[in-house]
A and B are shown apart, each in its own frame.
Chain A
């Protein structure tokens, strides 16, 4: 069963690199682990026949978003983080998450109505998950959310530029200007 093997390969890659994101002391290693997690998730999307989203995940996420993140990490010149210290509140948080994960595991394994062999994979048309199918939905049924998403992106671009821009010393008092990386405006 090539599909089963491929699922477990992607699942373990996603899990271990996801673990790498939260245990790596160097933020750059975390970012690279996150890239690999997205690549593994793209493999899972391929297995779900969501080909368009798989490539979008690789191009937009591993390609653009994570490059931005890595760019910021190298811009900030960070040193290694201190090791995680387990305070009482954090122990409770971890215990809660572990209990939640265990409950999820038990539920998914034991409840027959969502058992591991159910439901059968339904027959789908060949172009389900293709760019054509998603675009058809996006531009007909979900036109308003699509347009709102583009408004959101525009707002985010403008907001990011305004927030990250170097503060004008005449404009705001009490903000020190460190004189690094002049922004191109």
Chain B
């Protein structure tokens, strides 16, 4: 039987993959994709918590759950924010490539001098 923990586990593993991508890769496009991977992991965790509320953890009852706000709204808002982030991020990448002809962030050290 699949429970909350399975989703949390998968979400944690996907988040770790995203962090590894940000740490290891130097291509700014792949770093953007890794950030997307992390946001997706967070979305899975939120949707799972929304579906399997922790009744025992607080004073939440089944009636509260039926009348409470829908946690999926937050997933929806995160999707909106990450779409905006990709749009601006890709614009920055295009501008970067136009000026420096590279997407390797090791070679973009203008601010360090």
Instruction: Classify the secondary structure of B's interface with A.
Output: helix
Partner of B14, one of A7, A15, A114: A15
**CA of A21 to CA of B2, assembled, Å:** 26
Question: Do B55 and A119 touch across chains, with their CB atoms under 8 A apart?
Answer: yes
User: Which residues in window 15-69 of B have CB below 8 A to A?
Assistant: 16-21, 23-27, 29-30, 32-34, 36-37, 40, 43-44, 47-48, 50-57, 62, 65-66, 69
> Are A163 and B37 in touch, CB under 8 angstroms?
no
Closest to A140 in B: B69
Bound complex: CA of A100 vs CA of B23, how far in Å?
15
Chain A proximity of B87: nearest CB distance (Å): 4
Q: Is the CB of A7 within 8 A of B6?
A: yes
Q: List 14 A-B contacts (CB under 8 A).
A: A21-B30, A21-B34, A48-B7, A52-B72, A60-B83, A75-B94, A81-B25, A94-B23, A94-B24, A114-B4, A137-B69, A142-B73, A145-B77, A152-B81
Q: Taking A14-B14, A141-B69, A156-B87 as contacts, is the C-beta distance between A72 and B6 under 8 angstroms?
A: no
**Known contacts A118-B3, A141-B69: does B90 contact A68 (CB below 8 Å)?**
yes
CA distance A90 to B20 in the complex (A): 9
**Contacts A30-B30, A52-B72, A119-B56; is A76 near B103 (CB within 8 Å)?**
yes
- Shortest CB-to-CB span from A160 to chain B, Å, is 4
The secondary-structure label for the interface of chain A is: helix
Q: Name the contact of A153 in the complex, choosing from B5, B32, B57, B83 (C-beta under 8 A).
A: B83
Q: A30-B33, A72-B90, A75-B94 are in contact. Are A123 and B73 (CB under 8 A)?
A: no
Chain B interface residues (CB < 8 Å from chain A): 1-10, 12-14, 16-21, 23-27, 29-30, 32-34, 36-37, 40, 43-44, 47-48, 50-57, 62, 65-66, 69-70, 72-73, 75-77, 79-88, 90-95, 97-99, 101, 103
Q: Which residues from B are CB-within-8-Å of A156?
A: 83-85, 87-88
| B residues near A138, Cβ cutoff 8 Å | 73, 76
| A11-B77 in contact given A53-B72, A176-B99 (Cβ < 8 Å) | no
